[in-house]
């Protein structure tokens, strides 16, 4: 068993962390509004002896623990929840409602698992602080806001104090996902897709529905654009490359006999290669502009980026180092996985600083439920991240995630040598 991970099997610690997890789950906060969660994390690690700095990147927290010579390891967790109602039926389910940045009243739920991420990092910080005789080096723990809006990592990087915070040699992070609880899944290279969300306004000329000749109909323009955009993946991207283009919203008009002035398309793109990503984004602009020209629109379309996530592309050598540590600790319960089409802003830290990073998944599904679904070929029916019914099991997910973070960190944190 890993020298640090062995301390994760502490019944008192796990019981305390479970209560913390349930508390955070029951009190979720929207992106860049994580004031309560950040205070819980900051107060916790400050009491452990970490040098704590609050309000980095709005609500982010950075803790530094120095323990002799060695590598500097950064451990990161995201804290924010989603603007959606929970429907898990759990006794500690969220009933929170809040105002989003547009002032709209929304339900709030930890339906992506960031409550687990925060709790895991708090647990890892606890073990590292209480067992300094088992390792040497420097640990930087980062509680990040705003991952769901692709804002938090960039905000923290922009607010980073190089004089106060040591630059890491390695950056490590993890995410709870659908998969048998008790398992850990890793991958060298690309593990998460890039994600780009755009809002596109198409401008026509409004008129009475009985006089279409006096109008430039943005509804027709939007419908044609929607259909043509679907051909990018099917006819312009190689079948050997993976890409997804989803139009999640098409909005126009208020009444059946009024031709509106404009229409709005909101779309999302997922890609696994930077060249494919750039081609997709270029093609979207080309098609939207061409359809507007074809409709004789008096104004070109207006493009607004809603969010933009880079590829999460694990460093090959660093991932191999983690994989060796995982194999030694977890055995067959740690294995290589395929890339996921979800996206993360975690890699912004490593990309900005030119520091290697490794990101992996921790299974959160009841093993019996997963095995039955796999046998029946119905894994896709298991409520996944962002589902209102997403509910990872606490045992053994809580302990497994804590062990995984400590095991990976120990691959860089030297064991203390006898004098």
β-strand pairing of 258-259 with 184-186: unpaired
CA distance 42 to 52: 7
> Tokens for 235?
């006819």
Q: State yes or no: 148 annotated in a binding site.
A: yes
Ramachandran bin of 58, using left for φ above 0, alpha for ψ from -120 to 50, beta for the remaining angles: left
> Tokens for 262?
């404009």
Strands (E) across 57-193 are located at 60-67, 72-78, 97-99, 105-107, 137-144, 170-180, 184-186, 189-192
Is the distance from CB of 364 to CB of 393 less than 8 angstroms?
yes
DSSP per-residue letters across 147-166: GGGT-HHHHHHHT--TTTSP
β-strand pairing of 170-180 with 357-365: parallel
Q: State yes or no: 292 annotated in a binding site.
A: no
Side-chain half-sphere CA neighbours of 41 within 13 A: 37
Q: State yes or no: 27 annotated in a binding site.
A: no
Ramachandran bin of 317, using left for φ above 0, alpha for ψ from -120 to 50, beta for the remaining angles: alpha
Taking the alpha carbons at both ends of the chain, their separation in whole angstroms is: 24
Q: State yes or no: 131 annotated in a binding site.
A: no
Three-state secondary-structure class, residue 201: strand
Nearest Cα residue to 176 out of 338, 376, 390: 390
Nearest Cα residue to 400 out of 28, 25, 77, 124: 124
Nearest Cα residue to 16 out of 125, 151, 109, 147: 125
CA distance 407 to 329: 7
Is the distance from CB of 320 to CB of 188 less than 8 angstroms?
yes
CA distance 362 to 372: 19
Q: State yes or no: 208 annotated in a binding site.
A: no
Q: Which residues are annotated as a binding site?
A: 112, 114, 148, 175, 386
Q: Which residues are annotated as a binding site for Mn(2+)?
A: 112, 114, 148, 175, 386
């Amino acid at each position: 068993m890993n020298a640090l991970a062995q301390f994760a099997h502490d019944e008192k610690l796990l019981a305390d962390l479970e209560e913390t997890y349930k508390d955070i789950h029951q009190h979720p906060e929207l992106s860049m509004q994580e004031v309560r969660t950040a205070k819980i994390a900051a107060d916790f690690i400050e009491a452990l002896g970490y040098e704590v700095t609050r309000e980095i990147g709005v609500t982010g927290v950075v803790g530094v623990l120095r323990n002799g010579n060695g590598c500097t390891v950064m451990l990161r967790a995201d804290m924010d929840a989603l603007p959606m109602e929970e429907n898990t039926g759990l006794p500690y389910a969220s009933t929170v409602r809040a105002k989003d940045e547009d002032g709209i009243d929304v339900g709030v739920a930890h339906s992506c698992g960031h409550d687990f991420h925060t709790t895991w990092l708090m647990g890892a910080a606890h073990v590292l602080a209480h067992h300094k005789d088992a390792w040497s080096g420097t640990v930087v723990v980062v509680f990040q806001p705003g991952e769901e809006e692709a804002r938090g990592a960039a905000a923290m990087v922009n607010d980073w104090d190089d004089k106060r915070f040591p630059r890491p040699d390695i950056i490590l992070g993890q995410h709870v996902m659908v998969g048998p609880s008790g398992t850990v899944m890793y991958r060298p290279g690309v593990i998460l897709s890039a994600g780009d969300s755009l809002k596109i306004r198409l401008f026509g000329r409004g008129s009475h529905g009985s006089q279409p000749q006096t109008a430039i109909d943005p509804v027709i323009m939007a419908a044609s654009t929607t259909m043509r955009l679907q051909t990018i993946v099917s006819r312009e991207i190689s079948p050997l490359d993976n890409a997804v283009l989803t139009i999640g919203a098409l909005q126009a008009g208020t009444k059946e006999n009024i031709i509106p002035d404009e229409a709005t398309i909101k779309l999302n793109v997922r890609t696994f290669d930077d060249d494919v990503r750039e081609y997709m984004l270029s093609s979207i602009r080309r098609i939207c502009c061409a359809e507007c020209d074809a409709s004789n629109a008096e104004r070109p379309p207006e493009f607004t980026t809603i969010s933009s996530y880079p590829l999460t592309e694990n460093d090959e050598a660093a991932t191999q180092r983690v994989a060796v540590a995982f194999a030694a600790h977890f055995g067959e319960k740690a294995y290589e996985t395929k890339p996921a089409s979800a996206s993360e802003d975690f890699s912004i830290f490593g990309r900005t600083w030119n520091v290697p990073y490794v990101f992996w998944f921790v299974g959160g599904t009841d093993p019996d439920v997963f095995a039955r679904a796999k046998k029946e070929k119905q894994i896709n029916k298991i409520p996944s991240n962002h589902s209102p019914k997403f509910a990872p099991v606490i045992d053994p997910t809580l302990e497994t995630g804590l062990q995984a973070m400590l095991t990976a960190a120990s691959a860089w944190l030297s064991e203390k040598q006898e004098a």
